[in-house]
Structures are given as C-alpha cells and as structure tokens.
Amino acid sequence: MRVVFFFTNLLFFLFGVLFGFSQTTIPLSESIKSIAFKYNQTLLGKNVFVFDPAMDMHEVQTLIDSIYAGQVYPTNEFSNNRYALLFKPGTYKLDVRVGYYMHIMGLGNSPEDVVIVGAVRSNASKGHVLCNFWRTAENLTIVPAIDSTNTWAVSQAAPLRRVYVKGNLKLFEGASSGGFMADCKIEGTVFSGSQQQWLTRNSVFKKWDGGVWNMVYIGVSNAPKENWPEKPVTTIKETPEVREKPFWTFSGGKFVLKIPALKKNSIGVDWDNRNNNEKAISIDDFYVAKPDVDNAASINKALKKGKHILFTPGIYSLSESLKIMLPGTVMMGIGMATLVPEKGNKVIEVFDVNGVTIAGLLIDAALIPSETLMQVGNPRSKKNHAANPTYLFDLFFRVGGPHEGSATRCLVINSNNVCVDHVWLWRADHGDGVGWDKNKCANGLIVNGDNITVYGLFNEHFQEYQTLWNGDKGRVFFYQSEMPYDPPTVDAWKHGETNGYASYKVANNVKTHQAWGVGIYNVFYDAPVIVDQAIETPPAVENGFYHKVIFWLNGNKESIVKSIINGKGGSVNSSNRKATME
C-alpha cells in the first residue's frame, strides 16, 4: 500500500517508474566476502549468517552494514537477494539496520536469551516508509543505545514477533501505512505516529501513543480504550484461539524448531512464564532446501518421505506444486525465501489433513498465469480439524512487481478450522509488469471452509473482490485493503447492474460471519470509477462487522464509493474523504 495522500512521495514514486529504477544489487567486496565466509553456516546455505557473541563485533557490524547497503529503497525493492541473520544466545553490541528481504532472528528459547545492545531498526528512505516491505525481526531483546527508542518504521509484510524492547518503540518515519506485531513486550511507549493502521496481538506495552484510521488490539495488556469513531481504536480483551509462530533455537550444537502450544482466551506474551509445552523438532527431521540445488521434484520427494521443509534464502522456481499430504507437516522459510511457479501450476497444495504449519514464505505469480497460487484443502473438504488446526504465518503474495505475472486467485482455503496469522496479498501497483492488462488477478483470498480465523488480513488491488468469503462462521480481526488503482473505465469495473466490486464480499449462503476493524481505501487514477459499496454481505451478516472505515485517498476527482456496507453508511469522494460506522 502506498498512501498517495502524500504528494511528495507520489511524485518520487512516479519518477522512479518513469525512469526505471533497476533491480540492482551492491556486490560484497572481497574483504566482506571473506568475513561472510567466516560467519557462514554451511548447513543453511550461503545467504545465512550465524553469529555468536565471541565473534569480532567490528567484523560482524561491517558485514551487516554491507548487506544492508544492497537492500535499500528504491533501487533494491525488487532485488533477488535474500538474507537471514541468526544470532546464537548471548549479548551483542550492534546497530542492525534491516532492509528488503532481511530476516533477523534470535536463536534462544526466550527472546531474553539474545540481546542486541544498540538497535534492530528499519528506517525511512526518501522521507517515508510507504514501501518498507518484506523484512522481519523475531525472538530477541533490543536495548536501544542510540537513544531510548528503537525504530521499526515499516508498512506491509514486515512483522515483529517475540521481540522484547527495553525502551520505547517507534513505528513511523514520515508517511507510514500499516503493520503487524505479535507476542512482543515493550517496556516503554509505542509511538505509532503516522501509521494509518496497525494490528497488535498478544503483546504488552506501558503505553500506546497515536492512531490514524484503524488500530486494532487483541489480547493486549494496556491496550487503548475504545471510543469509536472519535478514536480509531478496536480493542478485544482476549485472543479467542491462537498458537504463536514456531521459532528456531540453537543448543547442543544443533538447530531445533520449537512449536508453541495452542492457547485459548489469551492475553499478553507467552514466553515470559517459561512454562509452555512446546513441541520440539530437530533440524535432522527437516529437508533443508537451497535455491541453487532444489526444485519441485526434490522437495516433493522429501515431503513423501515424511520430512518437514526448511527453505533457505533465495528464489525457487517450481515446475509443479509442492504437495503436503501428511498431517503435522511443517513448511517454512527463512530470509524471505520466495517460490515462483514455472508452468502455470500451483505453488503449494495442502491436502485436507490435520495440523499443517506453513510460515515465512513469499509467493510470486509468473508470466504463465496460474489459476491458484496456494490451495489449502481439496475442493469440497468436509473434515473437522478443530482439535488440530492448520496454521499459516507471515505469508506474502505478489502478482507483478518484481516481474510481470498473473493468476486468477492467490490463496484459496477449502479446509475447515484453518487459522491465518498475518498475510499480505498484493496485486502490485508499482514495479515491473504492472497494468490492468499485465498483472491480472481477480481475487486475493477466497475462503470456502468453515470456522476460518484470520488475524491481520492485508489484501490489495485485485481486479474483482479482494476477499470472497463463502464459508460459514468466519472471523477476521483487522482488515486493510485498497481497491485497484487502475480500472480503465467505469464499465470495465462493473458486474451486472452493480458498480464496481466490493473489497470484502460475504456470499449469500453464509449465515454467520464476523470482522473487527475493517479499513478499506480507494484511489482511482484513470476513470471516474463508481463503487456501490465497500463491503457486501447477506443482510443477516451486516451486524457482524464492527468498526468500519472507508477513505478516499486520491485520484480521479469524480470517483466515488457510495456506501460502506450494502448501501448503508456514508460515501466518500474528493470532498468528503472519510466515512465510518460502528
């Protein structure tokens, strides 16, 4: 999401598009290469660096700075580089600047086992963070040493998880457009500033300062009190059911993945009591995939043998879908590992089985269109998985951006009892291969299963419904969506007698559906687009949507969104830019 409301940022972006910012990388010098080799962990590939406190911190700092220099906005937004920086338990004095496709990870049983004195920070480039995407930090403690505040100024696809900040946390620099934080503890104040929307789940802080359009807190200690719409706050005391994202540890000379237990009606972090019943999986039980070695055949062979899959950093071209057929399978990436279909195939196909975990992957559409990029459960899946649900964490989809690509839909969930904990589905509005007839994609998310829960649904720019929900008893905690920027004419974005497509569509057969903190925004650059409603549901479901906001950001001054939900609620246009409902 780019917030075109800020004209200077828009002009800078257009300059980049017109003059073709390249996908360049900055090569490491020979001296840096020697440091990289020295600190490389062979098991996990050439783009994973495993540090311990006994190392020369000057050398480590030099290496981190060199990696960061090649991962900055705007020239490296769509770089092919991918990196994971892993820290064994101990204390480090470092300034860890985090750019595109950089994954910063502590390897302790608790975030307190890895302490960074200095910073782990994501800062503005060119005066804003509207494109600070595709980066993450998790499972460590930060002691801010530059001042009392650590800066994590980001927009989409940049989660903070299991992070303990012994000071304040700042989430913005210039224009900022939303993010996600879970299982985090902040000793001081969180300053959200210009962040238009943000989801905080199962965390604790002393105070939260700021809020623009849609700030959602669920299972958060000291969360702000609701006073909608005077304050853009949605506060839900307890998280009904969730398990935290699995995390890697290092002890006894071996990597071990810890999978936290399922928890119900929870508040705050779950790592400070040290009484969790975590499942442990040795690295020996994983097939460690590497982009210069592996393909769909080798990975599927490992899956059939009962191996879990760890994708090391890089880009994987897949000629067929990766098929998860066994219950309890874990498939996860580090360093923003990226999967791309070769032949119009699916990328991941999960059978209708219990307890699958998929986490930390970036999935790109390709030039040969795919019908579906990822499918969870077979069509018409009927099994009940309530006792052992499938969990999806930090999954990011792109249609266009790094290159031209198309699909009909990104993510389809057919199984019942699936939980999604943070997803960004993005039909690109900038980058390569971008245009109404280039990066084609109808839907970001289609849900056919029952009892599906999503914490943090970011879903933008698709050509029909951004979200199409056909299953019953669905729940969404926080929704952030922009309609497509580029419908060429009014008629090109009509269906039947309906003007435009609602961003969030609940099918007529659905009897029960709930959503909290629903923010939908529009920018129509070319045509004076008319949209009848931002949300479309059966009448019986309308009251299940709590705290709704729509906003007219920019674009053709004759464009209009006529209502919030089913013809009800205020409209937005160039002269009345914001409308809210309970």
Say how many residues make up the chain.
Answer: 582
Q: How far apart are CA 559 and CA 490, in angstroms?
A: 9
HEC readout, 68-87: HHCCCCCCCCCCCCCEEEEE
Q: Retrieve residue 488's tokens.
A: 């060429």
Q: Catalytic site residue 482? A: yes
Per DSSP, which regions of 381-503 are E strands? 390-399, 407-413, 418-427, 443-447, 453-460, 467-469, 474-482, 494-495, 498-499
- From the candidates 482, 542, 558, 582, give the one annotated as an active-site residue: 482
- Tell me the residue type at 451: N
Q: Which CA distances in Å does 104 have to 221, 283, 562?
A: 26, 19, 44
Whether the CB-CB separation of 136 and 161 falls below 8 Å is answered with yes
Q: Which parts of 267-347 are beta strand (E)?
A: 279-282, 286-289, 308-311, 315-318, 322-324, 330-333, 338-341
322-324/338-341 β-pairing: unpaired
**From residue 369, how far is each of 347, 401, 468 by CA, in Å?**
12, 15, 20
Q: Which tokens in the block code for residue 557?
A: 């001054």
Q: Report cis status (omega within 30 of 0) of the bond before 74.
A: yes
Buried-state track 523-538, b at ≥16 Cβ within 10 A, e below 16: bbbebebbbbbbbbbe
Which has the closest alpha carbon to 415: 457, 386, 394, 444?
386
Helices (H) and strands (E) in the chain, counts: 4, 45
Q: Report, as residue numbers or ranges, the catalytic residues.
A: 482
